[in-house]
Structure 1
Amino acid sequence: MIIHFFFDVCYPANKAHQLPPERLMVVRNSMRLLALVLPLALLLGDASWLLAAKTDGLAQYRSPVDVALDEGGKWLATVNQTSGTISLVDLPTGKVADEKPCGEHPSFLRTCLDGQHLIVSDTFGGEIRVFEVAQGTLRLAATIDVGYQPTGIAVSPDGKTAYVGLVATGEVAQLDLVAGKLTRKLEVGKWPRYLAISPDGTRLAVGCSGESRIAVVDVPSWEVDYTQKLSGGINLGQMQCSADGKYVYFPWMIYRSNPITKDNIRRGWVLGSRIGRVRLDKSEYREAITLDVPGTAVADPHGIAMSGDETRLIVAASGTHELLVYRRADLPWEGIGGPGDLIDPKLMRDRDMFQRIELGGRPMGIATAADGHTVYVANYLKDAVQVVDIESREIVREISLGLSIEPNEVRHGETVFYDARRSLDQWYSCHSCHYNGGVNSKAMDTWNDGSALTMKTVLPLENVSQTGPWTWHGWQTDLDNAMHKSFTTTMQGRRASEADKLALLTYLDSQQLPPNPFRGKDGTLSESAQRGKQVFESAEANCVSCHSGEHFTDGAIHDVGLGSDEDQYEGFNTPTLVGIYRKVRFLHDARARDLEEVLTEYHSPKQVSDTRDLTEEETADLISYLKSL
């Protein structure tokens, strides 16, 4: 009875038949396991932590992406992306004491107020949630609507004010946590995913990944004081301020715009990983160190923290499944002209200066204990918090957040997507270019269109099985072969097995775009977007002649006058317009910096369809509609 009840709730009859047989089997087995565990949980006490988890295709997975630690060492908390929950763990016993829903796609977690509250960013829901920790339980204390995909959070030294990066609109929001309200916003630059605040609360560092730069905000005046460019920078990770307020530290990757060949990859001339630091007290050129070891590079660095005494700098390398630990005092920082493309040799000679600790899975956010040597790691794919002793260089404990189950096909596909060890010498993963399945901020030469140095913007992978043909020129009509070329040509790695490719496709097809921030909460269009829809469908604009159907693409090749002599193929595959608001570079070669430039210069109706130029009002309305797709 219980099995059928949960299955009917999760997969009603009108949807169950849409599942592949193997996924249907996984869901049914998961429900059987839930039916065995739930009655016991109900008899023993509060089962809300179990009921809070989503019961979809990833039924029991939590997927922790960040971790926060109680200063007294009594508890830790994780924010779990797949289940959309926050877990409270009793540290002495290592058991999950409570779990509560916290949003549709939570991304970040910090302590706030008196240290006994937690603040969570609900990225897809557009909200910030504050939870109180009391007597081993979590209580929702406040919900603040901020909109526009909140991600990273910085909390003021007194714990009463929070600053949140709003990725979709390039803003930082300031929140009054005592009153539980949004107080003001500041435009800082594109894709402000992560940020950090100085110990005195006067300087806010913001990593604008869409513009490859760090913005430093003077908090009292609420203005961007200065910015520091990260040439070729992509995928800026979490940020950490030093206790003296002098520097902010952060990991990132760099793209070097060279052809994808084995020699170029091994030299670090395609993609590489860095740790950087930027001054908070004055504008100076950024300094950096290179992370990549010849033959065994580092990929997708994400979380960063310092030991309590600040003698160690610690980074989670998500793509290569490891923790990187550095002796901070004498790191070989280089500014203008540096660093080199491969790790400084002196780091390799001194094991106390640099060490790599294998963790497996996908390590993400990290927190450090007051003892200076214990590190807590939120491991997404292991569904666990790993407790690591960085002095002995070993995992001393692993705290499970959910039920131990075998990976289903979607989870299998995730492990493939985020695994840099499938590339040549583990330099980069699928995620490195297709950030979380979407896009990045650079035009890249993936060698997939048959010619070198014909740079192309990265296409999103959501709905990939339904938006063929593939590649910008549309020459690829076989998705299986397209994925094979990605592994063997773009990544210069080994051929993926049929099971791996099927799992990867299943995972990508399971991905959902976040709710569009340029629509109302109920999905309605603004008045400007409604007028823009009429422009989009008009004979003058003629957009629908190519951008049609559910995904706004006709799947055909068109010559729109934007090709070059270096292209091996003629014409371009109509790209989907769904989620176009997320992009920061437009057209195949990134020549347009915004949609207005697309519609008035390079891809105007007059140029493409030989109709007429749009008026300023029509252009503005059309842009409003495009952003709403």
Structure 2
Amino acid sequence: MEMIIHLIFVFCYPANNRQKLLPKSPLGGCHSMKILAQVLSAALLLLLSTELLAGPLSEYRSPVAVVLAKDGHWLATANQTSGSVSLVDVASGQVTDELACGTHPSFLQKCLDGQHLVVTDTFGGKVRILEINDGKLLPKATIEVGFEPTGLAVSPDGQTAYVGLVATGEIAQLDLAAGKLVRKLEVGAWPRYLALSPDGSRLAVGCSGESRIAIVDVPTWEVAYTEKLSGGINIGHMQCSADGKYVYFPWMIYRSNPISRDNIRRGWVLGSRIGRVRLDDSEYREAITLDVPGTAVADPLGITMSGDEKRLIVAASGTHELLVYRRADLPWEGIGGPGDLIDPKLMRDPDLFGRIELGGRPMGIAMADDNRTVYVANYLKDNIQVVDIESREIVREIPLGPSISANQIRQGEAVFYDARHSLDQWYSCHSCHYNGGVNSKAMDTWNDGSALTMKTVLPLDNLSKTGPWTWHGWQVDLNDAMHKSFTTTMQGRRASEEEKEAILAYLNTDRFPPNPFRAKDGSLSAAAQRGKRVFESSDANCASCHSGDYFTDGKIHDVGLGADEDQYEGFNTPALVGIYRKVRFLHDARARNLEEVLTDFHSPEEVSGTRALTEEEISDLVSYLKSL
């Protein structure tokens, strides 16, 4: 299949350049072209029949990460919706090559001799190594790692890589020269991004599912300590200081207060931060607040630092901007801080803090050696923006493909990730429904008619097929639900009919990975097969409510978990598809894992009055639930 996709990229090249990308044929170049035509014809039929090219966003590149050659001659991007890596000649601004590299790549780094790239194929469960040779990308090795590899860090010698496995809460160590997996270590839920100290001895891992930073001692391969980010969600990319003392990262914080206009504007609902944690010793994190009254910052993700460490730069993807700071004079605060709004000191000095409007959705960023030029992977603009952070202007934009008008689904995607639809642009749909899924907190959205009745965020996959909506199931009109999300939960303006239709079209696309707890052919493990029988048994009685394709009957049930403060009685049966992605369970997050759900708060004897399940049955049932 990879060869088929590569041939399609070859076909897209000008005719006079195709020959050098083809394998040599003993019968000559003309014969190679005939073979190409035959294979490509069959490939297109196969791909169309399996809908691998039929994805609604596949016509866009959607870059999410960017790396720059040491000499600045080339840059490379990981393109999420096209499943490719692009190689760009910086001087000419031309894409010299593009190579298919799996499904939903999320991150890339330079490795080995600096003329290789390592890329995470997140939905494919692989890490891929590519060689850069004479302006071309060549596949060199593929390492099976499983369980949604996302962020990467590479050792100073380029020989070793570390990757976060989001679905299992592990990091994996890879030998890049040998092209093999070496070992894994459990670090905590959702280790999306990580960074390695300059000497390679300490690895910082942002565990968004547990609101903490884990510091791994690499030589002993143990978690040395963790630092809590109280209320923290959505930890972004990570950047180590040159002296190896700190790791810097952006994140958002949820403050557990009712959603009201005053609370939002005080920073008491959601806010954005930059933090730093010690790499050499356990010490409470330090942070600064990013949010400006009236024009807050949302969804910070990318981070980099100038080589002289004068500047710290963050990409705020929800508010479409670069944030530029003078690092040495930032007012870091530890215990008891920072405040809920930006320190006035930053507002008084334009050299200490500046904002550069970029548009689109800026994500990964890379810094040039001149300490002033930043390259930005802009997801929605489908380009690389070259930004001068000292003059505060976009110097040029490098397109990664032909200009394509946004279709309805792409328009809906833009709305979903746009914080400017909320009051004073404090947060976007994505801030709570991370990439359309869930976050790690129970939140008070005011969408159920009562204040301070915290609810876990429900995922938005299969949305139109899993009504009614909300935990209490009172919402039976999806258009009205969308309206309330913008006007009540986000306290923003009413979405237009066109915007609502677009965002629903986007949410109805398949944006989630194949289940990593199943075999590659989709089959169940032996334990999951046994668990399926337990799930369907009268003793467990799960299937009496969790039924159908999405494991929900769409009905309201009183399972004994309500509170006096609830406006509605009973709970809507939640769908179980993709439940492995969650780290908090039941409506109020009282259960921290599936075992606790099944043995305590939602056990068969509590809900159905049947018998308690054995330890073996619980284990098998959990295996089955994770496979859904």
Superposition TM-score tier, normalisation by shorter sequence: over 0.9
Are 1:67 and 2:66 an aligned pair? yes
User: For residues 40 and 237 of structure 1, what CA distance do their matches in structure 2 show?
Assistant: 36
Kindly provide the amino acid, as one letter, of the partner of residue 463 in structure 1: N
- Residues 433-486 of structure 1: per-residue CA shift (max 9 Å, x gap): 000000000000000000000000000001101000000000000000000000
Question: Shift in Å at residue 524 of structure 1?
Answer: 1.1
Q: Runs in 1 of length 4+ with deviation above 4 angstroms?
A: 37-40, 43-55
User: For residues 263 and 46 of structure 1, what CA distance do their matches in structure 2 show?
Assistant: 64
Change in 2 beyond 3 A, CA 1:214/1:220: same
2:348 aligns to what?
A: 349
Structural mapping, 1:91-240, within 5 Å: 91-240=90-239
Are 1:42 and 2:41 an aligned pair? no
- Aligned Cα root-mean-square deviation (Å): 1.9
User: For residues 46 and 522 of structure 1, what CA distance do their matches in structure 2 show?
Assistant: 35
User: For residues 535 and 196 of structure 1, what CA distance do their matches in structure 2 show?
Assistant: 42
Kindly provide the amino acid, as one letter, of the partner of residue 121 in structure 1: T
- Residues 53-78 of structure 1: per-residue CA shift (max 9 Å, x gap): 94542342000000010011111000
Contact kept, 8 Å, 2:11 with 2:18, in 1: the verdict is: no
Kindly provide the amino acid, as one letter, of the partner of residue 347 in structure 1: L
User: For residues 158 and 613 of structure 1, what CA distance do their matches in structure 2 show?
Assistant: 54
User: For residues 255 and 270 of structure 2, what CA distance do their matches in structure 1 show?
Assistant: 6
Change in 2 beyond 3 A, CA 1:576/1:47: farther
Contact kept, 8 Å, 1:48 with 1:98, in 2: the verdict is: no
Change in 2 beyond 3 A, CA 1:558/1:48: farther
Kindly provide the amino acid, as one letter, of the partner of residue 602 in structure 1: F
Contact kept, 8 Å, 1:54 with 1:84, in 2: the verdict is: no
User: For residues 285 and 59 of structure 1, what CA distance do their matches in structure 2 show?
Assistant: 43
1:22 aligns to what?
A: none
Are 1:441 and 2:440 an aligned pair? yes
2:286 aligns to what?
A: 287
Change in 2 beyond 3 A, CA 1:46/1:568: farther
SS in 1 for 2:508: helix
Structural mapping, 1:326-405, within 5 Å: 326-405=325-404
Kindly provide the amino acid, as one letter, of the partner of residue 268 in structure 2: W
User: For residues 271 and 619 of structure 1, what CA distance do their matches in structure 2 show?
Assistant: 37
- Residues 524-548 of structure 1: per-residue CA shift (max 9 Å, x gap): 1111110100000001111111000
Change in 2 beyond 3 A, CA 1:325/1:304: same
Contact kept, 8 Å, 2:531 with 2:624, in 1: the verdict is: yes
Kindly provide the amino acid, as one letter, of the partner of residue 227 in structure 1: T
Contact kept, 8 Å, 2:147 with 2:516, in 1: the verdict is: yes
- The TM-score with structure 2 as length reference comes to 0.93
Are 1:273 and 2:272 an aligned pair? yes
User: For residues 415 and 448 of structure 1, what CA distance do their matches in structure 2 show?
Assistant: 23
Kindly provide the amino acid, as one letter, of the partner of residue 372 in structure 1: N
1:550 aligns to what?
A: 549
Kindly provide the amino acid, as one letter, of the partner of residue 603 in structure 1: H
Structural mapping, 1:553-564, within 5 Å: 553-564=552-563
2:25 aligns to what?
A: none
**Structure 1 gaps, min length 5:** 1-8, 11-33
User: For residues 57 and 359 of structure 2, what CA distance do their matches in structure 1 show?
Assistant: 20
- The TM-score with structure 1 as length reference comes to 0.93
Structural mapping, 1:215-614, within 5 Å: 215-614=214-613
User: For residues 145 and 288 of structure 1, what CA distance do their matches in structure 2 show?
Assistant: 37
Contact kept, 8 Å, 1:258 with 1:269, in 2: the verdict is: yes
Deviates further, 507-516 or 205-214: 507-516
User: For residues 596 and 235 of structure 2, what CA distance do their matches in structure 1 show?
Assistant: 26
User: For residues 272 and 55 of structure 1, what CA distance do their matches in structure 2 show?
Assistant: 38
Question: Shift in Å at residue 403 of structure 1?
Answer: 1.1
Deviates further, 112-121 or 510-519: 510-519
1:16 aligns to what?
A: none
SS in 2 for 1:410: helix
User: For residues 106 and 20 of structure 2, what CA distance do their matches in structure 1 show?
Assistant: 24
User: For residues 488 and 58 of structure 2, what CA distance do their matches in structure 1 show?
Assistant: 35
User: For residues 568 and 136 of structure 2, what CA distance do their matches in structure 1 show?
Assistant: 60
Change in 2 beyond 3 A, CA 1:46/1:258: farther
Deviates further, 55-64 or 218-227: 55-64
Question: Shift in Å at residue 513 of structure 1?
Answer: 2.2
User: For residues 73 and 288 of structure 1, what CA distance do their matches in structure 2 show?
Assistant: 32
- Residues 360-415 of structure 1: per-residue CA shift (max 9 Å, x gap): 00000000000000000000000000000001100001000011011001100100
Question: Shift in Å at residue 515 of structure 1?
Answer: 1.2
Contact kept, 8 Å, 1:38 with 1:47, in 2: the verdict is: no
1:3 aligns to what?
A: none
Kindly provide the amino acid, as one letter, of the partner of residue 489 in structure 2: T
SS in 2 for 1:130: strand
Kindly provide the amino acid, as one letter, of the partner of residue 433 in structure 2: H
SS in 2 for 1:425: helix
**Structure 2 gaps, min length 5:** 23-39
- Residues 150-186 of structure 1: per-residue CA shift (max 9 Å, x gap): 0000000111000000000000100001111000000
Kindly provide the amino acid, as one letter, of the partner of residue 562 in structure 1: L
Contact kept, 8 Å, 1:41 with 1:47, in 2: the verdict is: no
SS in 1 for 2:107: strand
Question: Shift in Å at residue 522 of structure 1?
Answer: 1.2
Kindly provide the amino acid, as one letter, of the partner of residue 536 in structure 2: E
Question: Shift in Å at residue 512 of structure 1?
Answer: 3.1
Change in 2 beyond 3 A, CA 1:40/1:160: closer
SS in 1 for 2:329: coil
Question: Shift in Å at residue 611 of structure 1?
Answer: 1.1
Kindly provide the amino acid, as one letter, of the partner of residue 510 in structure 1: T
SS in 2 for 1:510: coil
Kindly provide the amino acid, as one letter, of the partner of residue 126 in structure 1: G
Question: Shift in Å at residue 521 of structure 1?
Answer: 1.3
- Residues 9-31 of structure 1: per-residue CA shift (max 9 Å, x gap): 99xxxxxxxxxxxxxxxxxxxxx
- Number of residues of Structure 1 aligned to a counterpart in Structure 2: 597
Change in 2 beyond 3 A, CA 1:95/1:465: same
Contact kept, 8 Å, 2:166 with 2:190, in 1: the verdict is: yes
Contact kept, 8 Å, 1:48 with 1:100, in 2: the verdict is: no
SS in 1 for 2:209: coil
Change in 2 beyond 3 A, CA 1:473/1:92: same
- Residues 59-99 of structure 1: per-residue CA shift (max 9 Å, x gap): 42000000010011111000000000000001111011000
